[in-house]
Amino acid sequence: MSPLGESSSDVWSTYQQQQHSLSEKIFGEQKAIVGQLPTSVKKAITNLKTKSSHYKNLDNSVLYAIYTARKAVAQAGWSAQDDFGINIGSSRGATALFEKHHESFLKQGRAETLSSPTTTLGNISSWVAHDLQTQGPEISHSITCSTALHALLNGVAWINSGMCTKFLVGGSEAPLTAFTVAQMQALKIYAPLPQEGIHKTFPCRSLDPNNKKNSMVLGEAAAMVCLERGISKNVLANIIGVGYATELLEHNVSVSADAVCFQRSMKMALGHHHPDDVDIIVTHTPGTLKGDASEINAINAVFTNKIPALTSNKWKIGHSLGASGVLSLEMALLMLQHQEFINVPFITAQTPKRIKNIMVNAVGFGGNAVSILLSK
């Protein structure tokens, strides 16, 4: 679920429109552009929270994960008896609930009873496991913006090791708080308000080669993927390559100008495949000047004279941090399913000769890149 909706049909329908799904949100005395979940989805989350006393004290990041995990497992035809593993991550974790408890502590001088167990990062996978009643391993982690695709890497590793036959992986992010937005603004990477110049039509300029100003926008979302070996009746695509890399830090929030980590992760994901085999790349490109440029430089270095068709969804839904990688994976799956390429409004429309193999990229603060190669 994302600002695009929660069903495949809704999401695909929204992708057909050359309009963004971003909106203004007021944070105290400040306003910012953000990617918010549709009202219908928010209502479903509220219902989930109120129907069970166990869930009333949980952060939205955990509730989002529970809600999407239920749907993913149902679509895959899994049951608790499968004892599948779970690896769900988040960049920020229970940020809203943590801020609430900290504010209460500053006012009262004491912490509330459930302040610790409800704000730990491990809360996400453990509560999903509780909700689905599965007995498999549970893993939660944060590797900033590449978190969800690192969860996928873990799932692949567990399955290939023979320690598990199925794995539920993904990411969940509920970062729309005043403090979180202020942190991004303090880094000077956040999009200005729409009334300011060229950002009026599209606040986030992800993949825009003519962009002159940082334009990252935060979005809330959660997305889950069911992994299993072989071909099942519900299969959506095959993972034919995975890659990962980390490069030495030049700055706390940057990667090198040529994104060496991306070059390494994409080459690893290619494996024995030729670069010409890749038809499309769903880029990470968050809408920041350095971030977008470095990834494009890495793609040019790996694919040289034959660059695949490039696309992104962050101009449309914002950057959902730890959940963003699987939302890019969703976009790739939908393009494979419908055999239609989704263009970005800032670059000349592209028409791939075929839509068979799609690479998905993600990278987080600290230069930790992941590349996944999917095949129809």
**Cα–Cα distance between 256 and 258 in angstroms, integer?**
5
Going by their DSSP bridges, the two strands 368-375 and 357-364 should be labelled as antiparallel
What average pLDDT is seen over the chain? 93
pLDDT for 206: 97
* Confidence tier at 195 by pLDDT (50, 70, 90): low
Mean pLDDT confidence for 166-175:
98
**Residues facing 208 on adjacent strands:** none
**Cα–Cα distance between 6 and 45 in angstroms, integer?**
12
Task: Report helix, strand or coil for 95.
Answer: helix
Checking if the pLDDT of 47 tops 60, the result is yes
pLDDT for 29: 83
pLDDT in tens, 125-156: 999 999 999 999 999 999 999 999 999 999 99
* Confidence tier at 198 by pLDDT (50, 70, 90): very low
Checking if the pLDDT of 315 tops 50, the result is yes
**Cα–Cα distance between 7 and 148 in angstroms, integer?**
19
pTM higher than 0.85 for the full model?
yes
pLDDT in tens, 23-44: 999 998 889 999 999 999 999 9
Indicate the helix (H) or strand (E) that contains 338.
helix 324-338
Checking if the pLDDT of 253 tops 70, the result is no
Name, in order, each residue with C-beta under 8 angstroms of 152's C-beta and a sequence gap of 6 or more. Answer: 169, 225, 227, 239, 242, 325, 326, 329, 370, 372
**Cα–Cα distance between 256 and 298 in angstroms, integer?**
10
In order of their start, the domains of the chain are 8-228 (3.40.47.10), 238-375 (3.40.47.10)
Q: Where are the beta strands (DSSP E) in 184-267?
A: 218-219, 221-228, 238-246
Q: Which residue has better confidence, 294 or 196? A: 294
Mean pLDDT confidence for 102-115:
95
Of 340, 338, 373, nearest to 357 by C-alpha is 373
Q: What percent of the chain has pLDDT over 70?
A: 97
pLDDT for 254: 60
